Structure 1
Amino acid sequence: MNHYSKQNFMLTQSVGFTLAKARNLVTAEIDSALKDHGITSQQMGILLSLNSGVASTPFELSTLLGIDTGLMTRMLDKLETKELLKRSRSDEDRRIVNLSLTIQGHHLAQQIPEIVPPVLNARLRHFSPEEFKEFRRLLEKFIDG
């Protein structure tokens, strides 16, 4: 089923516009909450992914977080400069770069679950538990195409 046509398409009424606006709003609020810790919301995603073990290479992080490899390299450079992570070459395949958190990076990753939930909860305060569950379900359905 087509929901848009040439006749009814309006930028501010499109799903893409609304999703981008929501993303920008949440990103700005999370960035503000993380400012004192010297990281951004995108860098937070890297730290949490490495901390939980769901990714360990730049390629895995790029795929998981939907970030192009050029931007990923720049963000990893910044996190390495801040001594939050370190890179090392794989012993089996020198083309592969493995990433790991430093003690400081691990410590910061441990703090994030205390910082970010209040930001998200403030944005979701008018959602009932059922609405929140449905919202998540619909977003996943949208992502899966």
Structure 2
Amino acid sequence: MSHPYTLKNFTPSESIGYLLKRAGSQLSLTVDRALAEFDMTHAQLSIFLRLAHGLSNTAADLARELMTDTGAMTRMLDRLEEKGFVRRTRSSEDRRVIEVALTVKGVQLADQMTQVVVDAMNHHLRGFSAAEIAQFKDFLRRMVANS
């Protein structure tokens, strides 16, 4: 297979990287607007949803999965803890590990927070067929696998 981009055909505004970044930024803006009433940001929501759906349970896992450094993760967890959404505890098995979980308040808001993302995704995917969405997700997974 030949390479899809060459010096002759590359245009920054038509590059996959630019389009992915632009689409992601627009989606993030939609989510941020919807989250204003909950005093949460899109970045904080990413942490919240990983916890709500049982995908992560330590600060290190969250930092790794969300591709951020541990310092930034600590600051985001500080904010979520101040708002009463999460709690952090030291692992009883390994004191170096910080376990993170939703509080009762966080669990009570989990469905509403997930609905914010569902609504934003549905808004940005309007006009796409189910087959197109499945294909799009497959394309993105393949790009991730090529990393």
TM-score with structure 1 length normalisation? 0.92
SS of the equivalent of 2:89 reads strand
Q: What code does the residue aligned with 1:86 have?
A: R
Which residue of structure 2 lines up, in the alignment, with residue 77 of structure 1?
78
Name the stretch that deviates more: 93-102 or 6-15: 6-15
Which residue of structure 2 lines up, in the alignment, with residue 43 of structure 1?
44
Q: Displacement, 1:86? A: 1.1
SS of the equivalent of 1:99 reads strand
Q: Mind listing any 5+ residue stretches in structure 1 that lack a counterpart?
A: none
Q: Displacement, 1:31? A: 0.8
Q: Displacement, 1:23? A: 0.4
| 1:129 to 2:130 alignment | yes
**Matched ranges for 1:98-137 at <5 A:** 98-137=99-138
- Contact 1:84-1:104 at 8 Å conserved across structures: yes
CA RMSD of the aligned region, Å? 1.4
Which residue of structure 2 lines up, in the alignment, with residue 34 of structure 1?
35
Which residue of structure 2 lines up, in the alignment, with residue 138 of structure 1?
139
- Contact 1:44-1:109 at 8 Å conserved across structures: no
**Matched ranges for 1:15-30 at <5 A:** 15-30=16-31
Q: What code does the residue aligned with 1:42 have?
A: A
The runs of at least 4 aligned residues of structure 1 exceeding 4 Å deviation read none
Identity %: 37
Query: Could you report, residue by residue, the CA deviation over 1:52-102 in whole angstroms, capped at 9, with x for unpaired residues?
Result: 221111111122222232221111111011111111111221111111111
Q: Displacement, 1:49? A: 1.2
Which residue of structure 2 lines up, in the alignment, with residue 88 of structure 1?
89
**2: CA distance between counterparts of 1:119 and 1:51?**
18
Which residue of structure 1 lines up, in the alignment, with residue 55 of structure 2?
54
**2: CA distance between counterparts of 1:117 and 1:53?**
18
Q: Displacement, 1:128? A: 1.1
**2: CA distance between counterparts of 1:73 and 1:27?**
21
Q: What code does the residue aligned with 1:10 have?
A: T
- Contact 2:49-2:114 at 8 Å conserved across structures: no
Q: Displacement, 1:45? A: 1.6
Query: Could you report, residue by residue, the CA deviation over 1:86-127 in whole angstroms, capped at 9, with x for unpaired residues?
Result: 111112211111111111111122212322212211111110
